[in-house]
Amino acid sequence: MENELSARSEKFPTLELPGENRFRVLFFLLTSVFAAEGFDFFSYPLLAITGIAALYCFYQEGFFSRLNRLPFYVRATLLLFVLTAVSPGFPLKDLPVADKMLAAYLSGFAAAFFIARQLHYAMLALPVSIVVSWLICGLSGFSEGFFLGERLVLFSGNPNKLSFITSFAIIISVVFRQHLHGYWRHLNRVALALCILTIILSSSRASILGLVACLAFWVITILRKRLGRIVLLVMIAFIGGLWCLPYCEVERMKMTTDPIHDTAFQKRLFIWSVAVKGITESPLLGNSMRGFRNYYAKHIKDNEAELVGKPFFEEDILDVSHPHNVFLGVLFGYGALGSTLILVIFLPALKVAYDRRDYLFFSALLFNLVSGLFEFYLHRVSGALFIFLPLGIIHGSEYHKLSQSDQNAQPDTEIVEKSL
């Protein structure tokens, strides 16, 4: 009987929940955020609530009495959120963006502190939600509501947004696979396969490019021993995905090799030129990230006579909310001042992540930088979540280690003081 129970526990490893109720609430809230993000439903309110729950956990642990001891990297990050909220180039325009970033950062910071052992299970809710989305799509007979034209959207309504969310699901599946055992590992493999198929059917070239960069990084770090198997899996997924794609989408993917004749690329070139114009007009303080829509609309209105008749000047280019490039988007939104602060925050965190072999933050940042050559998501919930939550995890882990070192050194200090 005992042998049967032990064998069953190996197949279905028990999820060990945090001991205290407030930490359990934090775990379930974070799990719900990732599940909701997979369905693109109610994720922002849940993220805000999780951020508040994180603050409550900090309060209960007496963090607010030690604010004067916060490390420089935490202070610099909080300063970035203040700068985002104020957005001097367009006062208070990016306040909604700042609260998303802050909530994601606090959630990651608290997760590293209080639920580090359960964190990968909470984040696994994202790839699992993609699996559930596929089940619902299949049960509906693959109805038209799950597609936008020929491209898969599931519940997101936008193929590029779906591919961005799914890409992070793939990153989670790969980075945390070694922490999973028994049927959790089998579920993760199914989720990974469906996520790869989702990326191909959504036909987002930017996400595919970002994932190729991540795959190259994983091959030289965490997947070296399985290189042959990984290459075979990618080839099967790629060939199978292309076989499933409609002919028009295959032709669209082929246009990637000929950007000069690619209408989508020509549209982005025009959008980038507008962003560069905005950067040169406000180089120091920027224009705010959410201010791009208004700036772009004004540019279109002022130059409409010259633009009419251009091959790329179509209806879908009249209303654009972001520069479709993360580098131009950051410079346009923050200017030189905020962009420098971002470098001060992220470069040291990148080094810490690599030294600690924390591949989640490194992979998330690498993906955003490469796919960000053609997309920009920082002003949205998914963009804030998939950048600032991993950053919060890095900072939270470092601060937790620092706090433990201080606690271990405290008794020795007291002994020395008594002896004196």
- Helix, strand, or coil (residue 148): strand
Q: Would residue 8 count as lying in a domain? A: no
First to last CA, the chain: 62
C-beta neighbour count of 97 within 10 angstroms? 23
338 pLDDT exceeds 70? yes
* H helical segments located in 203-262: 205-219, 227-244, 247-254
Total domains in the fold of the chain? 1
| Contacting residues for 63 by C-beta, under 8 A, at least 6 apart | none
Check: CB of residue 76 under 8 Å from CB of residue 345: yes
* Burial profile 352-378: b = 16 or more Cβ within 10 angstroms, e = fewer: bbeeeebbbbbbbbbbbebbbbbbbbb
Give the pLDDT of residue 249: 55
Give the pLDDT of residue 216: 84
Q: What average pLDDT does the chain have?
A: 86
- CA-based nearest residue to 268, from 224, 78, 260, 54: 260
Check: CB of residue 326 under 8 Å from CB of residue 375: yes
Of 121-130, 185-194, 328-337, the one with minimum mean pLDDT is: 185-194
User: To the nearest whole percent, how much of the chain has pLDDT over 90?
Assistant: 60
Q: In which band, very low, low, confident or very high, does the pLDDT at 230 lie, cut at 50, 70 and 90?
A: low
Q: Would residue 2 count as lying in a domain? A: no
Q: Would residue 202 count as lying in a domain? A: yes
Check: CB of residue 350 under 8 Å from CB of residue 301: no
Q: What is the DSSP letter of 290?
A: T
* Burial profile 34-71: b = 16 or more Cβ within 10 angstroms, e = fewer: bbbbbbbeebbebbbbbbebbbebbeeeebeeeeeeee
Exposed/middle/buried for 149, CB within 10 Å: 0-12, 13-18, 19+? exposed
Q: Would residue 7 count as lying in a domain? A: no
Q: What is the DSSP letter of 289?
A: S
30 pLDDT exceeds 80? yes
Give the pLDDT of residue 417: 41
399 pLDDT exceeds 60? yes
Average pLDDT over residues 292-320: 86
Q: Would residue 406 count as lying in a domain? A: yes
Q: In which band, very low, low, confident or very high, does the pLDDT at 3 lie, cut at 50, 70 and 90?
A: low
Check: CB of residue 307 under 8 Å from CB of residue 313: yes
Q: In which band, very low, low, confident or very high, does the pLDDT at 163 lie, cut at 50, 70 and 90?
A: very high
Check: CB of residue 280 under 8 Å from CB of residue 331: no
Q: Would residue 217 count as lying in a domain? A: yes
- Helix, strand, or coil (residue 246): coil
Q: In which band, very low, low, confident or very high, does the pLDDT at 261 lie, cut at 50, 70 and 90?
A: low
12 pLDDT exceeds 80? no
Q: Would residue 9 count as lying in a domain? A: no
- CA-based nearest residue to 74, from 407, 304, 352, 380: 352
Q: In which band, very low, low, confident or very high, does the pLDDT at 263 lie, cut at 50, 70 and 90?
A: confident
Q: Would residue 351 count as lying in a domain? A: yes
Give the pLDDT of residue 63: 86
Give the pLDDT of residue 179: 84
| Contacting residues for 224 by C-beta, under 8 A, at least 6 apart | none
Express each pLDDT in 207-218 by its tens digit: 988 998 898 888
* Burial profile 308-336: b = 16 or more Cβ within 10 angstroms, e = fewer: eeeebbeeebeebebbbbbebbbbbbbbe
301 pLDDT exceeds 70? yes
Of 259-263, 290-294, 358-362, 412-416, the one with minimum mean pLDDT is: 412-416
Give the pLDDT of residue 14: 59
Instruction: Locate 5 and state its tokens.
Output: 């129970």
Full residue range of the structural domain in which residue 159 is found: 16-419
Check: CB of residue 285 under 8 Å from CB of residue 335: yes
